[in-house]
Amino acid sequence: MEEFKEKIPMIIAIILVIALMIGAYYFLVVHKDLYYTKIDNTKIEEVSGSGDMNYQYTLEAYNKNGKEKEVQFKTSRELREGAFLELDVMQMRGVVNWREVQENDLPDDVKAAMHIE
């Protein structure tokens, strides 16, 4: 029984390390935040050497609470001027996916941050 009591601190330390690793994996690899942006084709540049992703946008985007963040993402074509996009943004990888949404699909705080009536 005494041997087990001596091992308790080591067992707790191992459990804590595993929990920290799972948490780090979730926030760095799995967890995605949604951001919203509006396409401005003056903020696009042509890039080479990226396979079929020949264009890169650098735009201001907003999370559901209206907090601003600059994002970069590549596309295979120039997108429609003024289109609203919902972006999946990961901590380490940046924008991993995007889809066009309608203006009325934007959260109210995003509309306020973008100065949309």
Question: Could you report the per-residue pLDDT of 62-113, keeping only the tens digit for each?
Answer: 999 999 999 999 998 999 999 999 999 987 788 999 999 999 999 999 999 9
Count structural domains, the chain. 2
Query: Residue 42 has what pLDDT?
Result: 95
pLDDT for 32 beyond 90: no
Considering the domain architecture, whether residues 19 and 57 belong to the same structural domain is answered as no
Enter the tokens of residue 33.
């935040």
> Could you tell me how many residues make up the chain?
117
**How far is residue 39's CA from residue 61's CA, in Å, rounded to a whole number?**
10
User: What is the structure's pLDDT at 20?
Assistant: 87
- Are 57 and 17 within one domain? no
57 vs 41: CA distance, rounded Å: 8
For residue 68, what are its two tokens? Answer: 């601003």
Quick one: 25 and 37 in the same domain?
no
- Whether 41 and 71 share a structural domain: yes
| Cα–Cα distance for residue pair 90/24, rounded to 1 Å | 13
User: Looking at residue 21, what is its pLDDT?
Assistant: 84
Give the pTM: 0.75
Q: Which residues does 34 contact at the CB level (< 8 Å), separation at least 6?
A: 63, 64, 86, 87, 88, 89
Percent of the chain with pLDDT over 70: 92
Structural domain for 15, as ranges = 1-30
